[in-house]
Structure 1
Amino acid sequence: MRSEEEVFALLIGFAKSDERIRLVSLEGSRANPAIADDEFKDYDIAFFVTDMESFLSKDDWLDFLGKRLILQKPEDMELYPPQLGNKFSYLMLFEDGIKIDLTLVPISELQSCLKRSDGLLKILLDKDNTVKEEIVATDQHYWMTKPTAQKFTDCCNEFWWVSTYVAKGLARQEFLFAQDHLNQIVRPTLLLMMSWKIGAEKGSSFSLGKNYKFIQHYLAAEEWELLLQTFQGSGYSETWEALFLCQKLFRTISKKVALAYGYDYPNYDERVTPYVQGLHTKCS
């Protein structure tokens, strides 16, 4: 696998040799000083260019980066509609395992991109000295925040409300319906509540990462093991058990959050739990 220095040398060398490319930026995990280096970090690169169309006509200009295993061009897909406006991205995995997400951006949109940046941004090359102020990459945009009383109540409401959909799906023998609500709403709501507990206990001047990928480091061992067990779901009985585990964890965690911030723990739990258990009894 090529080193970071080798990849940057390729990218910067190509950009320097091409007059259409005026600025090169790095975003994402490789721009984040809080994340330890490893071989799986993507290279999220943007080329700010004067002539988009000349790049878009063919893909062979990308060959300078090496032999690709697969290329995806999201803005050229019909199944998944593009979302980047005037930008155009190339998502590439190479034979040596390097992954580069390279985005072309009209140079006219540089200032608006800088204003919309999430803070994880480094300027690698600026031919025209356009960026006057030094940019220091930080993940502060993703730091945890204290929930308001309303957000706390809303989170409790959503968790217990959607729990009834999981139970209903299982009672009807609609496995995919139940799993979808469990995986897409119930567990993410639990994870959000867990993040608020961590913030209350350990402060909020750090990020748990995309998809809460660092949350294990901040949970008690028992909490982490119970969370892992909620991912069982190869059948109806296992999914019922996963739901009950989610409810157990949510009940414990949310009460701690309520105590930490002086919020009232709403009575959704005491009303919904008997209903869900009743449906489970009927199915047993």
Structure 2
Amino acid sequence: MRSEQEMMNIIIDFARNDNRIRLVTLEGSRTNKNIPSDIFQDYDISYFVTDIDSFKENNQWLNIFGKRIMMQKPEDMELFPSELGNWFSYLLLFEDGNKLDLTLIPINEVEDYFTNSDGLVEVLLDKDTLIKDKVIADDSQYWIKKPTAREFDDCCNEFWMVSTYVVKGLARKEILFAIDHLNEIARPNLLRMMSWQIGTEQGYTFSVGKNYKFINRYIANEDWEVLLSTYSQNNYQKVRESLFTCYELFRKYSKDTAESLGYEYPNYDEAITKYTKSIYNSLES
């Protein structure tokens, strides 16, 4: 696998020698000092260009970055509509394992880019000194944020209401429906609540990572093992057990958060737990 220095040299040298490219930035985890470096990190690069259409005419110019085994052009797909406006991106996976996510941006959209940036940006090349102020990568936008009383209640409301869809799916023997609501809505709100409780104990000056991937660093090992057990869902009984386990975890972390922040613990828990048990009892009778 080519080293980080080798990859960066290729990326910057190509831009330096192509007059159409005026500015180059690096985004994402490689700019974040709080993310451990590893070989799986993408190179998230933006080229700010004067003539974007000339790049889109063919893919030959991409060969400079290495032999690729897979390429995706999200803005050139029919099934997944473009979300980048005038921007155009290439997701490139190379034979040596490196991955480059390269975005072309019209040069007249520099201001919009930095205005809407998530803060994780480094300027690698600026031919025209377009960036007057020093840019320092900052991940504070992703730090745990203290919830308002309304946000806390909304999270509780969403978790307990969506749980009824899981119950309904299991009762109807529609396991994929049940799993989808548990995985896509209920558990993410459990994880949100867990992160808030972590914030009340350890402050709001760090992130638990994308998809809460570092949350195990901040909770008890016992709770981590219990949380992982909720991902075992290959039959109806296991989905049911996972749901009740999520109930227990959400109850624990939401009560602790409410107490720490002086918020009222809502009565959704008691009502929905009673409802859930009544449905299951009726099915078993």
Tell me which residue corresponds to 2:44: 44
Tell me, yes or no, if the aligned pair for 1:29 and 1:35 is still in contact at 8 Å: yes
**Are the equivalent residues in 2 in contact too, given 1:240–1:280 (CA < 8 A)?**
no
What corresponds to 2:251 in structure 1?
251
> What does the per-residue CA deviation read over 1:24-79, in whole Å, with 9 as the maximum and x for residues that have no partner?
00000001111111111110000000000100000110000111010000000000
Tell me, in whole angstroms, the C-alpha distance in 2 between the residues paired with 1:283 and 1:35.
48
Q: Which aligned pairs between 1:1-284 and structure 2 lie closer than 5 A?
A: 1-284=1-284
Return the offset for 1:255: 0.3
User: Please, what TM-score do these two structures have when normalized by structure 2?
Assistant: 0.99
Unpaired stretches in structure 1, ≥5 consecutive residues: none
Q: SS of the residue aligned with 1:163?
A: helix
Amino acid of the residue matched to residue 47 of structure 1? Y
Identity of aligned residues (%): 57
What CA deviation, in whole Å up to 9, does each residue of 1:74-124 have, x standing for no partner? Answer: 000000001000000000110111011000000000111011111000000
**C-alpha contact (below 8 Å) 1:75/1:84 kept by paired residues:** yes
Distance across 2 between alignment mates of 1:280 and 1:237? 11
Deviation at 1:283, TM superposition (A): 3.1
Deviation at 1:209? 1.0
Letter of the structure 2 residue corresponding to residue 113 of structure 1: Y
Indicate conservation of the 8 Å contact 1:69/1:93, yes or no. Answer: yes
CA RMSD of aligned residues (A): 0.7
Three-state SS of the structure 1 residue aligned to 2:167 is helix
Q: How many residues align?
A: 284
Letter in 1 for 2:146: K
User: Is the CA contact (8 Å cut-off) linking 1:71 and 1:92 kept in structure 2?
Assistant: yes
Deviation at 1:13, TM superposition (A): 0.6
Question: What TM-score comes out, normalization by structure 1 length?
Answer: 0.99
Unmatched tracts of structure 2, length 5 or more: none
- Helix, strand or coil: the match of 1:133? coil
